[in-house]
Structure 1
Amino acid sequence: MSQRVSFTSFPYPKSESQKEILISSVLAGILIYLFLIVFQPFGTDQFQHKLKYLLLFPYSIIFGASFFIVNLLTIKINNWNIVYELLKIAVILLLASIPSYFYNTLFLSHVKLSFSNYLYMVMLTFALGIPISIIYVLSRYIYLKKNHENTADKISTQLDEIELTTHSEKKTLDIIAGTAQLQISEGDFLCAQSLENYCAIYYIEYNSVKKVLLRISLSKLLDQIEIHSIKRSHRSYIVNLTKVTHVKGNAQGYKLSIENIDFTIPVSRSFMSTTINHLQSLIE
């Protein structure tokens, strides 16, 4: 029996910072404007006015603002996938169609307001927005995938050539979780994983990997153990960067491999600067 493929199984890299959303919104608005003045679709070529290109510019502001608003509202949603991305695009286009309709009706066409005319504007908005959205989604995915893969390959090659060491092997990490206490040498700590109200801490003891569960949040654990080589890489993971043996990149981010650990540690896009940059500084 063949296994059914679900679109929700295809993750998509969501914008995770307001700065990135703002830049993407400006680019989306510019792309809409360039499309309008270059191809002049939907009768735009018949529109004659000495300020024609200036009068078309508000559409770029409308689309850019709609893009910014919807992306900002979805920034906190986790486990983003291609279905969510397509739905988000549909909402952006629907939102943009409302001010576009009023601008066109009241300032350009000077016709009566009617629901049928608005439906026509919705159709035009989607006809214009869908091909541009497809270009944006594919180009962004390809760019991030290629960029992360190249960075990961470079780091992995450097890791094969050198062995990372901690700044001070004698430093002790003191972890306190309620009545429980745990002391681990900086050089023995591997990683930690959040498991609801607990954290699974992996470390080396007598040359073998040991796992211990403590009732503590990942953020509180990080407050106690974060140093130059130990960083949060994901909302659910902390990693000792000196223990990384291999890095794999994809459009969503990176995955770190640690010797003797049977799972990879994800690096989400919101923690790339503190994780990958610190890892590169340790290599250099």
Structure 2
Amino acid sequence: MQERILKFDKITDMFSFVPYLYPRSKSVKEVLFSSLAAGILVYLFLIIFQPFGTESFHHPYKYIVLFPYTLIFGSAFFISSLFVSQFKDWNIGYELMKILVILLLGSIFSYFYNTLCISHVKLSFENYGYMFLYSLAIGIPISTIYILSRYIYLKNIPENTALDVAPQPISNCEAPKEKVLKILGNNIELEVTEENFLYAQSMENYCNVYFLEDGKIKKLLIRISLSNILKQVETHSIKKCHRSYIINLEKVKDLKGNAQGYKLILPEIDFEIPVSRSFISSIIPQLQQSKR
């Protein structure tokens, strides 16, 4: 039994990267460039390695006949990328699903092109099955190269931009004021700076709000729902991480666990705050980025 549990943990660890945020192209130009690159990679794979009988295919214009596969997979990539551009919180799992859809569309169009224009054989589900397997065999290595290279390229864009901007000297300027959070509920008003807010915990119809005051932890019980508190205090660093908790990510000093269950550790408190699976993709990558 213990061996099965260990094997299961290893499997889940293998897929623990799936909920991590994945950068998307932010313009049609980037989508078009990525689509063209993906299509060209498919074409190069076909003419260099000549898999699945391509080597024995003889035609005076062989490489021209193979070129439409570039347009087929490039178009499938372009259509899928434009469709998913409207979604938020894109992660690696969604990107892998998008790639699978691209391969499915590409295999369908490739099958009709091959059957009607090259092979001139009868249409059948069996032949399409072979084409789908061929598309997977070609698409998996190309997709791996694409995902890794695009991830590295798009992740480095903001970092390189930040390095290119020279810091401007500050003179005769007041220090930026700390953001003050106001929590209103049941005739109680609490004002606390974003820096001093620790976390809020739901207690049925009430919430305990924990914050720092003069370096000491204070707690205030307010008759209010956690969702109403979130509307009043949510910022880039203050997020909901569990159905019962809102936390200031800037105060988190350590985290432990994996995709099956993360725990956040604050030095000011003596217990660990859980992270629900539905919040992993929005909480954990931000924490890992801030710890670099």
TM-score (norm 2): 0.56
Partner SS, residue 51 of structure 1: helix
| Conserved? CA contact 1:193–1:200, under 8 Å | yes
Q: Which residue of 2 aligns with 1:55?
A: 68
Q: 1:39-87: per-residue Cα shift (whole Å, max 9, x none)?
A: 23223343531624533322332552475378669x5799x787x8766
Query: What pairs with 1:228-247 in structure 2 (closer than 5 Å)?
Result: 230-232=235-237, 236=241, 239=248, 241=250, 243=251
What is the CA–CA distance in structure 2 between the aligned matches of 1:210 and 1:264, rounded to whole Å? 17
In the TM superposition, residue 101 of structure 1 has moved relative to its aligned partner by 0.8
Structure 1, unpaired ranges of 5+:
151-165
**Structure 2 residue ranges without an equivalent (≥5):** 160-174
- Paired letter, 2:139: G
How far apart, in 2, do the equivalents of 1:142 and 1:72 lie? Answer: 16
SS in structure 1 opposite 2:268?
coil
1:11 aligns with one of 13, 17, 20: 17
Give matches, 1:157-168, under 5 Å. Answer: 167-168=176-177
What's 2:81 paired with? 68
Give the SS at the match of 2:184: strand
- Look up the match of 1:182: 190
Code of the aligned partner of 2:17: P
Change (3 A) 1:175 1:271: same
- Deviation for aligned residue 1:97: 1.7
Aligned pair in 2 of structure 1 residues 32, 235: CA closer, same or farther (>3 Å)? Answer: farther
Amino acid at match of 1:51: I
Percent identical pairs in the alignment equals: 38
2:211 is equivalent to residue 203 of structure 1: yes
Per-residue CA deviations over 1:80-108 (Å, capped at 9, x if unaligned) read 787x8766655543343212211222233
Cα distance in 1 between the residues matched to 2:45 and 2:25: 26
Task: Give the Å deviation of 1:126.
Answer: 2.0
One-letter code aligned to 2:216: S
Q: Could you tell me which amino acid in structure 1 is paired with residue 190 of structure 2?
A: L
Query: How far 1:109 sits from its partner (Å)?
Result: 2.9
CA distance in 1, matches of 2:71, 2:203: 48
Deviation at 1:124, TM superposition (A): 1.3
SS in 1 for 2:41: helix
Specify whether residues 71 and 36 from structure 1 end up closer, same or farther in structure 2 by C-alpha distance, changes over 3 A only. farther
Choose from 85, 102, 109 the match for 2:112: 102
Q: Which amino acid aligns with 1:11?
A: F
Q: How far 1:181 sits from its partner (Å)?
A: 3.0
One-letter code aligned to 1:202: Y
2:209/2:219 contact within 8 Å kept: yes
Query: Displacement of 1:203 after TM fit?
Result: 1.1
Matched, 1:221 2:198: no
Question: Distance between the aligned counterparts of 2:204 and 2:107, measured in 1?
Answer: 42
Deviation at 1:215, TM superposition (A): 0.8
Corresponding residue to 2:48 among 21, 32, 38 = 38
